[in-house]
Amino acid sequence: MNTSPIPTGSRPAGALESPLLAAAGFRHAFFTRDGGVSAPPWGSLNFLIAVGDDPAAVRENWARAAARLGVEPARLYVLSQVHGTVSHVLDGSEDRDEVARRRGDVTLSRVQGVAASVRTADCVPVLCADRASGAVAAIHSGWRGTVVNAAAAGVAALRALAGGPGDLVAAIGPHIGGCCFQVGEDVAELLAGASALGEAAVIRAPGERLRVDLRRIVRAQLEAAGLHPGAIDDVPGCTFCEPERFHSYRRDPGRSGRMLSAIVARG
């Protein structure tokens, strides 16, 4: 564990953004692994203490993320993710540590200055917002979450919070891409049944293991939930084959950090 002094106030946390969400006026970030203070193998921007990182370093990384988003660290929330569809609505009064013990995969808020977030290291992060109300949702959709349609569950929860169909826009962030997400026949069959794409999302090549394009499936799920195709942004990046930019659990089992994707409610 790194026990050296933790620097503060230096380079900002690295992040990618969605032009669609930015144009709609929502502060957000798909954080990369750059711009933090964690030592190898978690270097440098890691958001999970449980992997063995120095707690002081992880706290500083969270502070840098909050600064990048323009929110108080106490109002940047994440859940204990379980690859399901349970959602939690937050108003900013909750204790962040208590929220982090809640089980679920969708965080939501419509209170100005509250940031909903998810942690990933190969899974699909989806940030969604309602232009009309300013409400936001952060959705965690790993392959198991994709099978149970976490994206649609997050959209439904956001509409319930907004009080109507709203004017939704969403962005799908970096995750393990179809270039690298190898699966067995059993998982491929489950994912083929998760959207109208069916087998079209499964990549079969002679002499190679099956691969699946999670981005195409999640996009199809969002469209089936009523989002216009032009209201869905793709923020590119494969976590597995870009080690300089992203953490990947599949690439580095037992040594992988976690990234954060977050969006701030406009109120």
CB 43 within 8 A of CB 33: yes
* DSSP H helix total and E strand total for the chain: 7, 14
CA-based diameter of the chain, in Å? 55
- What pLDDT, on a 0 to 100 scale, did the predictor assign at position 3? 46
**Which pTM was predicted?**
0.95
For the domain 15-264, what is the CATH code? 3.60.140.10
Sign of the C-alpha dihedral, residues 44, 127, 29, 266? negative
Task: Answer whether residue 18 shows pLDDT above 50.
Answer: yes
Confidence at residue 254, expressed as pLDDT on a 0 to 100 scale: 87
pLDDT at 12: 76
Q: What is the pLDDT of residues 168-201, one digit of tens each?
A: 999 999 999 999 999 999 999 999 999 999 999 9
Model pLDDT for residues 111-167, shown as the tens digit of each residue: 999 999 999 999 999 999 999 999 999 999 999 999 999 999 999 999 999 999 999
